[in-house]
Structures are given as structure tokens and as C-alpha cells.
Structure 1
Amino acid sequence: MKRIYTAATVLVLTLTGSAVAQPYQSMFPGRADFSDEAKQYLERLDFKQGAVPLAGANATLNIPADFYYLDPEDTKTVIVDIWGNPAGAADGVLGMIFPAKYVPTEVEAWGSLVEYSNDGYISDLDAATTDYDELLQTLKQSVAESNIEREKQGFSPITLVGWASAPRYDQSAHALHWARDLIFGNEQGASHTLNYSVRLLGREGVVQYNFVADLAQLEEIKAAIPAVIKLVQFDKGKSYDDYQQGDKLAAYGLAGVIAAGAGAKVAAKVGLLALALAFLKKGGFLIVLLVGGALRFFSGLFGKKTPGA
């Protein structure tokens, strides 16, 4: 039955090109090991494959058989209800993508939030000249300074250990990706957390992938990056190469994209780039936003609840 269903799905996607929603029983055929709690969550989700328009992003996600997409409401169910992040953690997202072999209720599941920033056309002229080691030191200092306020508010500190994967810019695809190695808490032996980010540049803004995963899954995610990049197709006239003089320009380059982390706005002044850092993980959520010299903290560490699969 699995083989027949997969063939039928591929045929439908080929003929129609539009997204096809499936219940979890069809998405994961042959699985009979879900707990009752996991089933209650999975029954609320529509697993979509095919062409998924990204509202407001002038782009479409083309989801093949080895991935699936969850819409914003289903993403909130995963991020907030299943993984235990605060209610605002999924605000503004356009959805989430997962490898088809993973069920969201499984502890080993990883996926990526999909977002869009319409800050304008981002020049990639600094791709070859940015010193990413120097940028890393700046980010480390910013995170360390933010911990002073975090601990005043009763939250555990965060340590930016370094690049889990150094920034790389794919010139042909106009895609920037990098990963941070983070430690939440100051206890000896605290576990490391992966913060992997991908940015796909368009004419008017950037499609953003922010992966929610464990550091042990780094190589698996790196192997998936080429396929993930190809999922995005900008609308006609809206790709990076469609830029025309007079288009809105972003106030920062690729270094600013990395400094902005997971999509917070970046403020730029002469000789000064205001840094914004954001991290999302299973069981923990932090935003540190620096704009105009004012610090605002919305933070906390939250226990992860993963229903039995």
C-alpha cells in the first residue's frame, strides 16, 4: 500500500502542481507505534506536499516526496504545543518543513521554520570580503553582554561557542547559510544546541529558513541544504537577478544578515551596525534585540515536552 500510495501522490503532484494535504496515517504508512497523546496531536496536522505559495513572499515552496510542509497554524501546534516553546515563538512564520522520515512528535525530529523579510534587495558585494571570524567574535561579545540582563531577570545564560558550520554564500543560488554552536545554561556538562540558518535572497526580500535541531544532527542537515535551497522558487520578476536600479535596498549586507540571526530587524548607522540575535530550539526560546541603543529582552528556557511516538 505504501508503494501504491507514493506513486499516486507523485502522479497527482505532477498533473496538478498544487499542494496535496495528507493525514498522518497516509504520511507515515505502516507506523502503528504512536502513543495516544501523539495521535491526538498528529490528527490536528495536515501534511502537505506539492506547490505551496508563501503569502507575502512572492515565492512558492515546491515540496517533493522526501519532505512535507506544515502551514502556520500547524507549525504553532508543533512549536508551542508539542515542543513546549512559548506562545509567541511561532508568530509571523509562513510554515515549517520537515524531512518526510521524521514525525514531529519524535524526539529526533528536526525541521525548519520558514519566514520572509521584506527589507529590500540585499547586496552580496561583501560576500568575498567579510571576515567571518571577526564577526563571530563580535557576536560572542554581544551574547555575553546580553547574559547580564538575562541573569538579572532570572534566566540562564547562553554561550555562543562558535561556528558549527562557517558562513558560506552560494553565488549561483544567492543563498547564504551558516550554523552556530550554542550552550543554554551554565551547568557543567550542559548540552550543545544547533542554530542553523539559511537565507535565500530575492529582489524585494529574503526567504528565511531557521532550523530547529540538535547539534548531533549537523551533518544530516548540511547534507539536506542543497535540496532545501531548491525548494524555493521566486515569482516571475521577483528573483534576485531581476533587480533593477531604483528598487528598495536593504540597509545591510550579508554580514548584517548573519548578525540579524533569525529574522529580527537590523538597524544601521554610519560606522555602527546594531546587532540582533535570535535563537529557537526545542525547549528554549530567546530573542535579544538591540535597536537604537535600547535593549529589549523577551526570553526564557522552557521544558520540552515530546509525546511518545
Structure 2
Amino acid sequence: MLYNPAFLVLSRNRSRRVRLHKWLLLGCLLGVAQVQGHGINNPEMFDSVLHYQTAETTLPHHLQVQPASSIRFLNSQDANHVIYDVWGGSPDSSIIGMLLPRNLSPVSEGGWGLSLQHLDTGYVDARRWKNIDAKQLLKTLQKNSQAEVLNWALPPTFNPQTGVLMFATEVKLPGAQDTAIFPKVLLLGREGLLLMKGIIEKKHWEGMKATLQDLAFSVTFQDGYRYTDVQAGDRLYDYGMTALITETPVQDPERKTSSAPLLFPWIAVLLGLGLMGTLMGKRVRSASLTVRPD
């Protein structure tokens, strides 16, 4: 298995990821009861202590937030305040902010938010995107998920011009009357990606789904660090698009070249010319993209 910092982080902090799943499930199961348990039953009062931002904001990792007309932004401190007081979770220093609707408080009926986390994955080569099988991906999710994954609420879609990958799964939670939707929006960049994720009850999903495009366009990488700014020699993600969706380290078949024998003399010539990194799948081979938006 090739070295990949993103999956090493996941494996080293598996217990933290389990805790994250637990508070997401807890927030969905307890809903308003959990909020009232914290003494929060007045959206206006709760919102008064938050510092919502609608103007352009610069974040670490060369990220720029420009909230769409339906979206507002919370910084890391306020985002963790929502996670703790509303969703019953533990603060997470890796969360750099949160996107929320302007017309709903996190403590209102149907309120929601997507947390923002940056992953230092390197550049994700999406030239095999056309071969992605949504049905097979769903089976993988159903096999590996801690919760009961029922179906796609939104099948995976990817736009190579913006670097936006988005999808959502419908999940059955123990003891819950309604199923829950787990939406994810991934903004791919030249050096890494931004993961946006949250949870919402299915009965409120359509309202949130209508704003997903606004969410996707509310955060961008700065010029020079966007998905289409990739240059030959940039660090390449060791796994394919499947791994991003299933969160399992599935090797991209296109780069299973690290163990290939030297069958022909011209390969040895290429290695002699300093192209070993390219053949080993560690660097971007070409800045050109051959896929098209679905």
C-alpha cells in the first residue's frame, strides 16, 4: 500500500472518527430534546451569541469563503459551539468552520450545518471518474458503515472544472422514527481537499438539497491552488475517487505500476531519465483533464 497521509490520519484517529459518528447519530436521534436538554429552546437567543459571517473570509490552506445569498458562515470556535450545544458532540480542532442556511437557526426545526475540514491528500486524479459504478459504491458503503445505509439520497456527481464532488446517503438509525440523510460535499484542490459534511432528517432533506449547489460554490481555493491549477510534478493522491466516497483505502488500478517488472528496455531508459516518480504514481503526470462533468 502506498503512503497516504489522509488515510494514516484516519487510522491513527479511528477512535476520534467513531466519536464523531456517535455525536452525529446522537444529534439526529435526540433532536429538539437534546437542544432543550442544554437549555436551548430559543433560536434568536442562541443565534445572538454566534458570529455569523456573510462577507468574504479567508481560511487556512488557501481557502476563500464567499457565502452565497442563501448561506452564512461560522468560524471554528462558533462551529464547535454548535457541535457541542446542539449536536451533543465534543469540540474538534480540525474543524475550520461551518456553512449554514441564512433562514434557519441550528436549533430551529429542520436546522442544519455542514462542518468544514481540510485534508492534506495531494492532488486527486479523476481521469477514471467515468468508470465509477454508483451501485457498487453503495454496496461498499453498506458493507463498511457502522450504520444501516439504505440508499443514495443523492448519487455521486463530480465536476472536474470546479473540483466539486457531492453525494448523500440515506441511513436508518436505531430507534429513530425517520431515516437520516448524510450529505457530503468535497472540494478538490491542487494540494488537498475540503470536506463538508453534516446530517439531517429525511423529512427536511429536500429543503437542504436545494441549497447544495450554493454550498459548493460558497468555498473555493485561491488562484494557484484550485483543482485546474495542477502542474506536472505535484504530489498525487495514492487512491482513486472510490476511496474518497467510501472512506476505504482502495488502490486506483490506473496507478498499480509500482510493482511492475522491467519487461522492456525503454522502461529502464525512462527511469534513467528521472521519470521514476511518474511511473510509481507519486507525481502528477499531466495537467490536462480528460473527464467531463456528468
Q: Say whether the fold is shared (TM-score over 0.5).
A: yes
**1:270 offset after TM fit, Å?**
8.6
Cα contact 1:41–1:82 (8 A) shared by 2: no
Pick aligned residue for 1:250 from 214, 229, 237: 237
The aligned counterpart of 2:128 is 126
Matched residue of 1:172: which SS?
A: coil
The one-letter code sitting in structure 1 at the alignment partner of 2:126 is D
Matches of residues 176-215 of structure 1 in structure 2 within 5 Å? 176-185=165-174, 187=175, 190-215=177-202
The aligned counterpart of 2:257 is none
Instruction: Give me the whole-angstrom Cα distance separating, in 1, the residues matched to 2:56 and 2:203.
Output: 31
Instruction: Give me the whole-angstrom Cα distance separating, in 2, the residues matched to 1:67 and 1:213.
Output: 16
Pick aligned residue for 1:66 from 70, 77, 102: 70
Pick aligned residue for 1:54 from 47, 56, 59: 59
Query: Which segments of 5 or more consecutive residues in structure 2 lack a partner in the other structure?
Result: 1-39, 254-294
**1:68 offset after TM fit, Å?**
1.2
Instruction: Give me the whole-angstrom Cα distance separating, in 1, the residues matched to 2:68 and 2:46.
Output: 24
Cα contact 1:126–1:255 (8 A) shared by 2: no
Return the TM-score normalized by structure 1. Answer: 0.64
Instruction: Give me the whole-angstrom Cα distance separating, in 1, the residues matched to 2:221 and 2:143.
Output: 36
Cα contact 1:50–1:64 (8 A) shared by 2: no
Instruction: Give the number of the structure whose residues are more often strand, by fraction.
Output: 1
Cα contact 2:238–2:252 (8 A) shared by 1: no
**1:268 offset after TM fit, Å?**
5.1
* Structure 1 runs of 4+ with >4 Å offset: 35-40, 268-271
Matched residue of 1:44: which SS?
A: coil
Cα contact 1:115–1:208 (8 A) shared by 2: yes
Matches of residues 152-167 of structure 1 in structure 2 within 5 Å? 158-167=147-156
**1:174 offset after TM fit, Å?**
1.9
Cα contact 2:159–2:165 (8 A) shared by 1: yes
Return the TM-score normalized by structure 2. Answer: 0.67
1:78-117 deviation per Cα after TM superposition (whole angstroms, max 9, x unaligned)? 11112322x14x4411111111101122132112111111
Instruction: Give me the whole-angstrom Cα distance separating, in 2, the residues matched to 1:259 and 1:270.
Output: 13
The count of aligned residue pairs is 215
Instruction: Give me the whole-angstrom Cα distance separating, in 1, the residues matched to 2:117 and 2:45.
Output: 27
1:166-200 deviation per Cα after TM superposition (whole angstroms, max 9, x unaligned)? 11112332211111011111x5x742011001111
